[in-house]
Chain A
Amino acid sequence: MKDGEVFEKVVKILTPYVKNQEALDSIGLETHILDDLKVNSARLVDVVLEFEDAFDIEIADDDVDSVETVGNAVELIESKIG
């Protein structure tokens, strides 16, 4: 997958769940999914399901715990794509 493509797809998947438009406008790898984007933590499982579907990968529950920033999500996805 091209550089930046994973990041773009991640942003697209997160967008409907984002409650802080400003943070979305300036989104980057360091942006914190819960604290900055204000995504409802209850919906994280849905975000993960969408990552799995979009990239055709499987993400274990343990992996999810380590994802705090957008960059963490991109890294995790890239590691699963291989």
Chain B
Amino acid sequence: MSVRVVVTGMGVVAPNANDVNGFELALRKGTSGIRANEAMAQAGFGSRVAGVPQGVDAIADSYFDEELLRAMNLSHRYAAIAALDAWRDAGLARPEPGDDAVDWDSGAVLGTGIGGMDTIAQRVVPLTDAGKVRRLGSTAVEQVMASGISARVSGLLALGNQVTTNSSACSTGTEALAQGVERIRRGQATRMLCGGAEGACHHIWAGFDAMRVLCRSMNDAPERASRPMSASAAGFVAASGAGVLLVESLESALERGAHIRAEVLGCALNCGGHRTGGSMTAPNPEGVSRCVRAALRDAGIAPGQVDAINGHLTATSADPKEVASWAAALEVAPGDLPPITSTKSMIGHALGAAGAIESIACVLMLEGGFVHPSINCEDVHPEIEPYAASIPHQLREMENLELVVKAGFGFGDVNSCVVFRKWSGD
């Protein structure tokens, strides 16, 4: 009998909300978290808008003591706040100071796309190059090492199972979930905190701006800048934040009477090999289709059972191909594509955190029986026009929503897909 895995806790720090309840409200209302970004403007970026969580330092001050805060850059703060919130949401207690117990059955896969770039750019490089290496003190390493965010959370919660940081570009957040689920299925862990975080630092976004893949035509209208599936989409909007989901074996969740938010029914991971249309920056459509279908097979469901799709959909020229790939993977004619939405339309592309924040959106949609609007695409892209009826421009109530599929198609032609099922007590 295979182990079933459920979501028992969630925590989110997003450009449009810093807690799960606030995030749900924002999703329902179609609230954008994109704002004008001064650092980008001052540095002469083409794109001068970004999604940055607000009011995080005040939260961090109330969650962490002074010594810790000195060693926590933005990605650490986002990740740790989201992880602690997920833990508490799951009905679990944060260890007391002085408590020596280690939770050997709980681990973390918390990923990032770029890492501690703010610390690198603002401290490591300038101080080192000025011959002042000493001034870095003891806190630089933990903030720049790629595994910093998972290592940080493990200490806060005394996690004793696998603690690691995965990285697969835009696919990171969903891949983290898949990896955590797999570990629980194999019986190697009972609970895994899964997700991703990405800091807010214009140095992270510089390379994307240089590639001309960020939207540079809506600097005067930030909330309308992230336009997945629209005819006027002009690149993605850089964003940051963190999403963490606590996944747990069903047995453990039932045993401790945890509130179950949803079931993770299936997942799949693959790469398109940079062939037949795939490249470092574009997905191979065949890879995408294989990944989605593998996730459906893993979930034991037929394509026709999918009730809604939360796409990768970044507002680049890849969007039309992605929508077509979904239709192909689900073997449906355009008019029969299930509702498809892009959380990025409201929060931008949070890179390593994207897949996790967007997975949280999926769970909220299942719990609330709705599909959130994909904003900023009233002018649907001509190639997506055949699927227009599937795009919710307003909140779409769907009482019988049972199966939602989330996918990420990342730079490197790497794909991840997760199937979430509404929890109805069985």
**Category for how many chain B residues contact A:** under 10
- Is A82 located at the chain interface by the 8 A CB criterion? no
Work out how many contacts link A and B, with CB atoms closer than 8 A. Answer: 20
Contacts of A43 in B (CB 8 A): 67, 138
B137:A45 contact, CB within 8 angstroms = yes
Please report the C-alpha to C-alpha distance between residue A43 and residue B138 in the assembled complex, in whole angstroms.
Answer: 6
B138:A45 contact, CB within 8 angstroms = yes
Q: Which residue of B lies closest to A49 (CB)?
A: B137
Could you tell me the distance in whole angstroms from the C-beta of B65 to the nearest C-beta in chain A? 7
- Is A78 located at the chain interface by the 8 A CB criterion? no
- Is A1 located at the chain interface by the 8 A CB criterion? no
Q: Which residue of A lies closest to B97 (CB)?
A: A19
A16:B138 contact, CB within 8 angstroms = no
Could you tell me the distance in whole angstroms from the C-beta of A42 to the nearest C-beta in chain B? 5
- Is A55 located at the chain interface by the 8 A CB criterion? no
A16:B65 contact, CB within 8 angstroms = yes
Please report the C-alpha to C-alpha distance between residue A1 and residue B70 in the assembled complex, in whole angstroms.
Answer: 28
- Is B135 located at the chain interface by the 8 A CB criterion? yes
Please report the C-alpha to C-alpha distance between residue A16 and residue B138 in the assembled complex, in whole angstroms.
Answer: 15
Please report the C-alpha to C-alpha distance between residue A17 and residue B65 in the assembled complex, in whole angstroms.
Answer: 10
Could you tell me the distance in whole angstroms from the C-beta of B143 to the nearest C-beta in chain A? 13
A42:B138 contact, CB within 8 angstroms = yes
Main secondary structure of the interface of A (DSSP, over half): helix
Please report the C-alpha to C-alpha distance between residue A39 and residue B67 in the assembled complex, in whole angstroms.
Answer: 10
A46:B139 contact, CB within 8 angstroms = yes
Please report the C-alpha to C-alpha distance between residue A49 and residue B135 in the assembled complex, in whole angstroms.
Answer: 7
Q: Which residue of B lies closest to A44 (CB)?
A: B138
Q: Which residue of A lies closest to B135 (CB)?
A: A49
Could you tell me the distance in whole angstroms from the C-beta of B353 to the nearest C-beta in chain A? 28
Interface residue tally for chain A (C-beta within 8 Å): 9
Contacts of B134 in A (CB 8 A): 45, 49
What mask results when residues 40 to 83 of chain B are scored 1 for a CB within 8 Å of chain A, else 0?
00000000000000000000000001110010000000000000
What mask results when residues 46 to 81 of chain A are scored 1 for a CB within 8 Å of chain B, else 0?
100100000000000000000000000000000000
Could you tell me the distance in whole angstroms from the C-beta of A10 to the nearest C-beta in chain B? 16
B67:A17 contact, CB within 8 angstroms = yes
Contacts of A49 in B (CB 8 A): 134-135, 137
Q: Which residue of B lies closest to A41 (CB)?
A: B138
Please report the C-alpha to C-alpha distance between residue A24 and residue B134 in the assembled complex, in whole angstroms.
Answer: 28
Please report the C-alpha to C-alpha distance between residue A17 and residue B70 in the assembled complex, in whole angstroms.
Answer: 10
Please report the C-alpha to C-alpha distance between residue A40 and residue B65 in the assembled complex, in whole angstroms.
Answer: 14
Contacts of B65 in A (CB 8 A): 16
Contacts of B70 in A (CB 8 A): 16, 46
What mask results when residues 30 to 41 of chain A are scored 1 for a CB within 8 Å of chain B, else 0?
000000000010
Could you tell me the distance in whole angstroms from the C-beta of A64 to the nearest C-beta in chain B? 11
Please report the C-alpha to C-alpha distance between residue A16 and residue B68 in the assembled complex, in whole angstroms.
Answer: 9
Could you tell me the distance in whole angstroms from the C-beta of B258 to the nearest C-beta in chain A? 33
Contacts of A44 in B (CB 8 A): 138
Please report the C-alpha to C-alpha distance between residue A40 and residue B135 in the assembled complex, in whole angstroms.
Answer: 18
What are the 5 tightest A-B residue pairs by CB atom distance, in nearest-first order? Answer: A16-B66, A46-B137, A16-B67, A45-B138, A42-B138
Contacts from A to B (Cβ < 8 Å): 16-17, 40, 42-46, 49
Contacts from B to A (Cβ < 8 Å): 65-67, 70, 134-135, 137-139
Q: Known pairs A43-B138, A49-B134. 10 more at Cβ < 8 A?
A: A16-B67, A16-B70, A42-B138, A43-B67, A44-B138, A45-B134, A45-B137, A46-B70, A46-B138, A49-B135
**8 A-B residue contacts at CB 8 Å?**
A16-B66, A16-B67, A16-B70, A17-B67, A42-B138, A44-B138, A45-B137, A49-B137
